[in-house]
Chains A and B, each alone.
Chain A
Amino acid sequence: MTRPREPLVTGELPALEQAEILRYSRHLILPEFGLEGQRRLKAASVLLVGAGGLGSPLGLYLAAAGVGRLGLVDFDAVDFTNLQRQVIHGTRDVGRSKLASARDRIADLNPHVAIEGYETRFTARNALEIARDYDLIVDGTDNFPTRYLVNDTCVLLGKPNVYGSIFRFEGQASVLATPDGPCYRCLFREPPPAGLVPSCAEGGVLGVLPGLIGMIQATEAIKLLTGIGETLVGRLLLVDALSMKFRTLKLARDPLCPACGTRELRELIDYEQFCGIGEPAEDHANGVGELTPIELAARMEAGDDFDLIDVREPNEWEIAHLEGARLVPMGTLDQVLTSLNRAREVVLYCRSGARSGKAAARLYAAGFQRVWNLTGGILRWSDDVDPSVPKY
């Protein structure tokens, strides 16, 4: 059972201006929250790593609630595919940096919040320096290397990691790396091999899901800062949007955890390498060639003889596919291998070229001699060859 804890924000608390008293009146009349809770929020600082799906509702609600200083880390630009869930950005922001877009929206929502932007990748080189000045860190990242980086940064600095992650229709949330609780490595000692778990860009995500999970993270952050309620320290919340089931499981500290248990992890590491990412040039050495959309179009035009394989899922195939292609979703590749002719030349494609690159390596390993991956996938095909093919 998690007991109420001391607020993270202590010491001298700033006074509220009259305009703030009016703005936060619905907080102030909550007996458990009151003027003191609001002053704690005003004194608080939260670092949000990622201004995407989770970061959008987090940024909006933490700012609206009156967190005094919000740090935002993001290096990306807003694109149309973000808008289905990244509600901090608008249609007119497409093409702008996410940081600039989020900053404008937050400034409009609550001018009493100080925003600090870091338009950079969160890396082992800058993480400790950036995170040092904040009371807690909220993990709104979208990949394994950065999740382990956020966790280790929090453990090394002794700051809570308000964790949330999502995939398709399901999400997870917890509060990690507190002095008495487990960390992300206690939950998942090691990352899955690169490519085993698809990203949201590859696997999709229900647009409301980051809203649900981001709200849970925002709630936990506010509780930690003000010391109210019982947090998710020592518990993992699982959310299944399809069945609308919420479950909490016990999350215990692992005495053998290299970060928070044995503490053998004394500094940040190379997280790309830890997650098995970062040897992209190897494909050529493996006998897989890269073919650009313009080169493929020229070969199609010339009537060259080869098999064109689409390794995406049927619902993606329905959105758009290349003429003459055969659909072989990644999950069925191994079964279908036997029906393909190893002597023939094969060109594989997917949405961006990532999945088909992996499929191409598997074909080569299975004995196919002439395997090509379509560079940039259907997205680049749309850019370079046929703009009538929709991007998604």
Chain B
Amino acid sequence: MPVTLTLPAVLSKLADGSREIASAGQTVGEVINDIARRYPRLSPRLKDEQGAPYPFITIYLNDEDIRLKGGFAAAVRDGDELTVVPAIAGG
């Protein structure tokens, strides 16, 4: 069973309209890199030029912030779910 990354609607257009992307890897970073390779337009929204996470986009591994689990180095297992939560400001 692969790892699934869920995107907010606003970013899905950079991934050919996909809201959920299946991927695989040992760590969150490997999954992010694989998806970034497959969707080059999405890539700059998932990681910065140095390949690190942004401070204004929070990525969750299942229901926990990856920053509390080692960031991109956090280990993932089959069936895990990653969720991308960008900062939004509308009101």
User: Are A252 and B68 in contact, with the CB atoms below 8 A?
Assistant: yes
Q: How far is the CB of B85 from chain A (nearest CB, A)?
A: 7
User: Are B89 and A143 in contact, with the CB atoms below 8 A?
Assistant: yes
Choose, from A107-115, A129-137, A164-172, A352-360, the stretch at the interface: A164-172
Q: Does A236 contact B (CB under 8 A)?
A: yes
Chain B 42-72 near chain A by CB (<8 Å), digits 1 or 0: 0000000000001111101001110110000
Residues in B with CB closer than 8 Å to A247 are 63, 83
User: Are B55 and A54 in contact, with the CB atoms below 8 A?
Assistant: no
Residues in B with CB closer than 8 Å to A1 are none
User: Are B89 and A142 in contact, with the CB atoms below 8 A?
Assistant: yes
Question: Which residue of chain B has its CB nearest to the CB of A140?
Answer: B91
User: Are B87 and A144 in contact, with the CB atoms below 8 A?
Assistant: yes
Residues in B with CB closer than 8 Å to A249 are 60, 63-65, 83, 85
Q: Does A210 contact B (CB under 8 A)?
A: yes
Residues in A with CB closer than 8 Å to B10 are 167-168, 170, 203
Chain A 295-338 near chain B by CB (<8 Å), digits 1 or 0: 00000000000000000000000000000000000010000000
Residues in A with CB closer than 8 Å to B79 are none
Distance of A254 Cα from B68 Cα, bound (Å): 8
Distance of A252 Cα from B68 Cα, bound (Å): 8
Residues in A with CB closer than 8 Å to B8 are 170, 240
Question: Which residue of chain B has its CB nearest to the CB of A193?
Answer: B56
Q: Does A91 contact B (CB under 8 A)?
A: no
Distance of A169 Cα from B90 Cα, bound (Å): 11
Distance of A200 Cα from B91 Cα, bound (Å): 8
Q: Does B9 contact A (CB under 8 A)?
A: yes
Q: How many contacts A-B (CB < 8 Å)?
A: 93
Q: Does A152 contact B (CB under 8 A)?
A: no
User: Are A254 and B67 in contact, with the CB atoms below 8 A?
Assistant: yes
Residues in A with CB closer than 8 Å to B58 are 187-188
Residue in A200, A236, A240, A250 whose beta carbon sits within 8 Å of that of B90 in the complex: A200
Q: Does B25 contact A (CB under 8 A)?
A: no
Residue tally, chain B, CB below 8 Å to A: 24
User: Are A197 and B87 in contact, with the CB atoms below 8 A?
Assistant: yes
Interface of A is mostly: mixed
Q: Does A227 contact B (CB under 8 A)?
A: no
User: Are B91 and A197 in contact, with the CB atoms below 8 A?
Assistant: no
Q: Does A139 contact B (CB under 8 A)?
A: yes
Most-contacted residue by chain A among B55, B65, B89 (CB, 10 A): B89
Most-contacted residue by chain A among B10, B57, B91 (CB, 10 A): B91
Question: Which residue of chain A has its CB nearest to the CB of B6?
Answer: A247
Residues in B with CB closer than 8 Å to A238 are 83, 85
Q: Does B86 contact A (CB under 8 A)?
A: yes
Residue in B9, B56, B57 whose beta carbon sits within 8 Å of that of A168 in the complex: B9
User: Are A197 and B63 in contact, with the CB atoms below 8 A?
Assistant: no
Distance of A359 Cα from B90 Cα, bound (Å): 22
Q: Does A190 contact B (CB under 8 A)?
A: yes
Chain B 10-26 near chain A by CB (<8 Å), digits 1 or 0: 10010000010000000
Interface residues of A in 85-142 (CB under 8 A from B): 139-142
Distance of A55 Cα from B89 Cα, bound (Å): 14
A-B contact pairs, 14 of them (CB 8 A): A53-B90, A140-B91, A142-B90, A142-B91, A147-B89, A167-B88, A171-B88, A187-B87, A188-B55, A190-B55, A191-B56, A248-B63, A249-B60, A250-B64
Q: Name 7 extra pairs, CB < 8 A, besides A166-B91, A248-B63, A250-B63.
A: A50-B91, A144-B87, A167-B89, A169-B9, A187-B58, A249-B60, A252-B65
Q: When A and B form their complex, which 4 residue pairs have the shortest distance between CB atoms, in order from nearest?
A: A189-B55, A200-B90, A167-B88, A190-B55
